[in-house]
C-alpha cells in the first residue's frame, strides 16, 4: 500500500500518457513525447520515451530503449539494458542493470545485479538479499546486503552493511571500502583500496529500555484485559483453558487460523496471475480490504489467545489455583520467558496458535 501511494505521488505532467494492458510495449522506433504511466503483466520499452516512466507490472519491466527522464518501477523483475537519462527508483525481486543510468539508482530488491557493461552516473543505493556488482559507478555505493560480490569500478567510496562480502579481482575503488559485518571480507583484488571493517553496532541502551517499557505496558494491558474477560465470560474461558491442555490438536487448529490471512492473500495472488490487467485492479480492490480486515481480526484474536494459555500454564504449576489466580501466575511466567532473547520467538510461536486453537476448540456445554 505504501509503494502504491508512492507511485501515485510521483509528480507527472498533466499531459502524461496512461496505458493499461496485459502487455504494454513501446516498439522500436516509436517515440512517446510525454511521461508514460504503464500498468500490466509486462511493460517493455524498446523505443524512446521523452519524459519519465512510471511502471507497475506483475511479471517484468524491461527497458531496452531510451527513457530521457526518471524511471519509477515496481515489478517481480526489472531489467535495464538501454539508457535512462535520470534516476531509477525500483522495487523488485530481481533487478538487473546492463545499460546506463545517468543519475542515481535507489532500489529495494531480493537480488541485484550490475553487469560489467552497466553504468550508474551517480550513487548506487540498494537494500537487498544478495548482490553482484560489476560495471561502473561514478560516485558511491551504499546500502545493506546479506551477501555481496563486489567487482565494480567505483570512483567514490563504498559504505555498506553486509553479512558476507567478496571483493572480486576486478574491483577498483578510488575511496575507501567501509563495511559493517561480523565477518571479515574475502579479498581477491590485488589493490581494492582502503578497507575499513566495522563491527555491527549493539542496540542502544535507551532503545533496549524503550523496548522493555513497551513490552511491560502491553503485558499490563493484556493482564487487565484478561481479568476483565474472566469476569465477563468465566465459563467460556474455563472451557478454553481446558482445551489449551490438548497441545498438538489445539496448536494445529490455531496455526491454521493464524495463517488464514496469508492463505487469502495467496489465493488473491493466484487469481491475479490468471487475470487480465484490466480486471486485476478491480479484483484487488474488492479482495484486499477483506484480507486486511481478516488480518486485523486474527491479530486481535492472537492477543486474546494469551489468556487461556496463561491460565493453563499457571494451573500446571499450581493445580488448585482459581482461574484468575492461574491466569496471573501464567502471565508472570510468560513474561519472564519472553525476556530471554533466544526464547522470545519460540514462546510466541507456541503460545499464539495454541491460544487461538483453545478459543476455537473449546467444547460447548
Higher per-residue confidence, 193 vs 78 = 78
Residue 94's nearest CA partner among 115, 106, 110 is: 110
Q: Three-class SS of residue 240?
A: helix
Question: What is the pLDDT at residue 279?
Answer: 63
Question: What is the pLDDT at residue 19?
Answer: 60
Alpha-carbon distances of 107 from 64, 95, 122, 201, rounded to whole Å: 19, 8, 14, 24
Instruction: Reply yes or no on whether the pLDDT at 293 is more than 90.
Output: no
Question: What is the pLDDT at residue 149?
Answer: 94
Average pLDDT, the chain: 83
pLDDT band for position 258 (cuts 50, 70, 90): confident
Give the integer Cα–Cα distance in Å for 279 and 21. 10
Write out 163-220 in H/E/C secondary structure. Answer: EEEEECCCCEECCEEEEECCCCCEECCCCCCEEEEECCCCCCHHHHHHHHHHHHHHHH
With a CB cutoff of 8 Å and minimum separation 6, the contacts of 109 are 78, 90, 91, 92, 93, 94, 95, 126, 127, 128
Question: pLDDT per residue over 134-145, tens digit each?
Answer: 999 999 999 999
Backbone angles phi, psi at 80, to 5 degrees: -120, 105
Question: What is the pLDDT at residue 71?
Answer: 95
Instruction: Reply yes or no on whether the pLDDT at 170 is more than 70.
Output: yes
The percent of residues above 70 in pLDDT, for the chain, comes to 88
| Over residues 180-199, mean pLDDT | 85
Give the integer Cα–Cα distance in Å for 277 and 295. 26
Task: Report yes or no: 272 and 283 within 8 Å, Cβ to Cβ.
Answer: yes
Question: pLDDT per residue over 121-164, tens digit each?
Answer: 999 999 999 999 999 999 999 999 999 999 999 999 999 999 99
Question: What is the pLDDT at residue 2?
Answer: 41
Backbone angles phi, psi at 171, to 5 degrees: -70, 130
Instruction: Reply yes or no on whether the pLDDT at 11 is more than 60.
Output: no
Give the integer Cα–Cα distance in Å for 100 and 64. 11
Higher per-residue confidence, 118 vs 201 = 118
Question: pLDDT per residue over 259-289, tens digit each?
Answer: 877 777 777 777 767 766 666 666 666 677 7
| Over residues 15-34, mean pLDDT | 79
pTM for the whole structure: 0.61
Question: What is the pLDDT at residue 20?
Answer: 58
Residue 57's nearest CA partner among 218, 236, 281 is: 281
Amino acid at each position: 500500500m505504501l509503494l502504491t501511494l508512492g507511485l501515485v505521488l510521483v509528480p507527472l505532467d498533466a499531459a502524461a500518457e496512461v496505458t493499461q494492458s496485459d502487455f504494454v510495449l513501446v516498439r522500436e522506433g516509436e517515440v512517446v513525447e510525454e511521461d508514460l504511466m504503464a500498468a500490466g503483466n509486462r511493460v517493455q520499452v524498446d523505443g524512446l520515451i521523452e519524459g519519465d516512466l512510471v511502471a507497475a507490472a506483475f511479471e517484468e519491466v524491461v527497458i531496452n530503449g531510451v527513457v530521457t527522464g526518471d524511471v519509477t518501477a515496481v515489478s517481480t523483475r526489472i531489467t535495464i539494458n538501454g539508457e535512462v537519462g535520470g534516476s531509477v527508483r525500483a522495487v523488485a525481486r530481481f533487478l538487473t542493470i546492463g545499460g546506463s543510468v545517468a543519475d542515481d539508482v535507489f532500489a529495494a530488491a531480493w537480488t541485484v545485479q550490475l553487469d560489467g557493461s552497466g553504468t550508474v552516473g551517480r550513487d548506487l543505493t540498494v537494500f537487498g538479499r544478495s548482490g553482484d556488482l560489476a560495471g561502473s559507478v561514478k560516485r558511491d555505493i551504499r546500502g545493506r546486503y546479506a551477501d555481496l560480490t563486489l567487482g565494480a569500478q567505483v570512483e567514490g567510496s563504498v559504505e555498506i552493511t553486509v553479512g558476507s562480502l567478496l571483493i572480486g579481482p576486478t574491483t577498483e575503488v578510488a575511496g575507501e571500502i567501509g563495511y559493517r559485518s561480523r565477518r571479515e571480507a574475502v579479498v581477491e583484488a590485488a589493490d581494492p583500496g582502503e578497507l575499513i571493517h566495522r563491527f555491527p553496532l549493539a542496540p542502544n541502551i535507551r532503545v533496549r529500555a524503550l523496548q522493555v517499557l513497551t513490552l511491560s505496558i502491553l503485558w499490563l494491558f493484556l493482564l487487565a484485559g484478561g481479568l476483565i474477560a474472566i469476569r465477563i465470560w468465566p465459563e467460556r474461558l474455563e472451557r478454553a483453558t481446558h482445551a489449551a491442555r490438548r497441545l498438538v490438536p489445539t496448536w494445529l487448529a490455531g496455526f491454521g487460523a493464524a495463517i488464514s490471512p496469508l492463505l487469502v492473500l495467496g489465493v488473491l495472488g493466484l487469481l491475479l496471475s490468471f487475470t487480465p490487467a484490466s480486471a486485476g485492479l478491480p479484483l484487488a480492490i474488492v479482495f484486499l480490504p477483506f484480507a486486511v480486515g481478516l488480518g486485523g481480526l486474527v491479530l486481535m484474536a492472537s492477543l486474546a489467545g494469551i489468556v487461556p494459555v496463561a491460565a493453563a500454564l499457571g494451573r500446571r504449576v499450581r493445580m488448585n489455583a482459581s482461574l484468575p489466580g492461574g491466569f496471573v501466575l501464567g502471565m508472570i511466567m510468560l513474561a519472564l520467558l519472553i525476556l530471554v532473547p533466544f526464547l522470545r520467538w519460540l514462546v510466541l510461536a507456541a503460545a499464539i496458535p495454541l491460544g487461538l486453537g483453545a478459543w476455537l476448540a473449546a467444547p460447548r456445554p
